[in-house]
Structure 1
Amino acid sequence: MPDNRADLLAALRQIVPDGVGAGWADPLADHPRHAGEDLPRAVPARLREFVASRHAARAAMRMAGLAEGPVPHGADRAPIWPDGMIGSITHSVTDCLAVAAPLGRLRGIGIDLEPATPLERALWDSILLAEEQLALNRASPDQRGLLAKTIFCAKEAAYKAQYRLSQTLFGFDAMVITLQQDSFTATFRNPIPPFRSGTQIAGRIAQKHGHIIALAHL
């Protein structure tokens, strides 16, 4: 693993809760495919990325002391983790990251990886709530675009963390993100069973080698 990518994985490992494993893989490399991890009709680049993400998932399983197993693709496109564990997968053009944990240690976990570049201003109104944009106004103008991207990353991670329990698709307006220096909370604005309005999901943020990493857990 290149040194800079080792640092990216180390940054993820610093923000995962105790007992959670983390793994990395190169989405541009060829990794062995495992039985049950099929992606019909995928173009070669997408298949390579898919296989790499599962390679990262198994690295996370090993770190957590879990038995390695296949992570197939569900009809909803979410990973299907082996019995007895939960996890999450994310990727950029250059990196795949995954986390895995025994079921029972956590109820849900989600990660997201985004380039540490400003979120286009034209996208703010479709992704950020009014109160989130108001919070951005308290930052200096040159920081607002990157903070907006951080909010987007946090929303993606929180959505993944809750999805195992709600099995519900919803938009960016369902949760409001409150950023702290290296952490965040995602608060449900309306009830989405089994979550009540006002339920909060805790999360942490890291930034390394041109990426933002957000991790949320329940």
Structure 2
Amino acid sequence: MSILRIDSSANTETSITRDLTDRIIATLGDADVVTRDLADSPLPQITHTWAIARSQPEEERSAEQKEALSQSDKLVAELLAADTIVIGAPVYNFSIPAALKAWIDLIARIGVTFRYTENGPEGLVKGKRVIIAMASGGTPLGSEIDFNSRYLEHVLGFMGMSDVTFVAADALAKDPEDTIARAHASIAELRAAA
């Protein structure tokens, strides 16, 4: 099994999502793990050149356009090579960190990870299992103020990844011990389901 691990917490030392992703990966057992730490190695924002290049046929792209897409191509290759994607997604201001949004912007590629058909959009990244470790001070998973999980579930599903499970530590400001215990219990359930 191959796992792509995405860490997006700016907190590199005491991050709850990083701890949860560690535990999730340990639970999944023996696997080849590729780690993409978005805090340690920030990704570029998409640019005009990138946006034009992604729409050009590959054989018509200039050297500058190919260079603009090179990071995106690498990220897409990592995604496509993985059986399971484990994402650490803390809630920042009710949504995902900007670093994680940059990753999504770079992997959401028309004709590569999704396409439009006469029946509507079709995701092209199929057969992947996604596990998301979400942590928040007080934004409950699935609540009307949770734009983190709803966005991630939608955008990943748009690209074809519909098998999405959340491990939530979503009340850390209120009751950190119980919140962490519930998250750990969710991880144990992952082990039982494997």
After TM superposition, the score normalised by the length of structure 2 is 0.32
Point out which structure has higher relative CO (alpha carbons under 8 A, 6+ apart). Answer: 2
After TM superposition, the score normalised by the length of structure 1 is 0.30
The structure carrying a bigger helix percent of its residues is 2
